[in-house]
């Protein structure tokens, strides 16, 4: 097997702000990417956590009861990283995102 990094030709990234933080959620936007001007991948969630900062979630579907199954699964780290970086950078560019600074809640 080749150890060369795998890459995608991401030809477009579109971000749609959808902030759920005020209601206790972590989703800040949804995104879609075009791959090689041939495939459109929708439903990528952009999330924010205090410890991890921005990260993405791939589209998923409820399978049974409360279990969710991923509908899109990158098969290697390089492709996952490339998609994450493209989506997060476009979100930052669009919004001027800076890490949240929550106040210390100690009594």
Q: What is the CATH number of the domain that holds 84?
A: 3.30.1120.40
Residue 41 binned pLDDT confidence (cut-offs 50, 70, 90): very high
- Asked if the structure places residue 86 within a domain, the reply is yes
- Asked if the structure places residue 107 within a domain, the reply is no
- In the chain, % of residues over pLDDT 90: 57
Is the separation of the CB atoms in 83 and 33 below 8 Å? yes
Read off the pLDDT of residues 56-98 as tens digits, 9 standing for 90 and up: 999 999 888 778 888 999 999 999 999 999 999 999 999 988 7
Quote the domain boundaries for residue 85. Answer: 10-95
Helix, coil or strand: residue 10: strand
Structural domain count, the chain: 1
Q: What is the mean pLDDT of residues 38-60?
A: 93
User: Residue 78's pLDDT is what?
Assistant: 93
Residue 101 binned pLDDT confidence (cut-offs 50, 70, 90): low
Q: What is the mean pLDDT of residues 4-14?
A: 87
Contacts 24+ apart (CB under 8 A), 16-19: 17/94, 17/95
Residue 45 binned pLDDT confidence (cut-offs 50, 70, 90): very high
User: Residue 58's pLDDT is what?
Assistant: 95
């Amino acid at each position: 097997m080749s150890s060369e990094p795998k890459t995608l030709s991401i030809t477009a990234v579109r971000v749609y702000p959808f902030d759920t933080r005020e209601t206790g959620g972590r989703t800040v936007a949804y995104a879609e990417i075009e791959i090689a001007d041939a495939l459109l991948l929708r439903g990528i969630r952009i999330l924010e956590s205090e410890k991890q900062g921005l990260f993405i979630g791939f589209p998923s579907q409820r399978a049974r009861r409360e279990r969710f199954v991923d509908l899109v699964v990158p098969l290697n780290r390089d492709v996952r990283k490339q998609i994450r970086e493209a989506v997060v950078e476009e979100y930052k560019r669009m919004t001027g995102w800076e890490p949240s600074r929550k106040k210390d809640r100690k009594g």
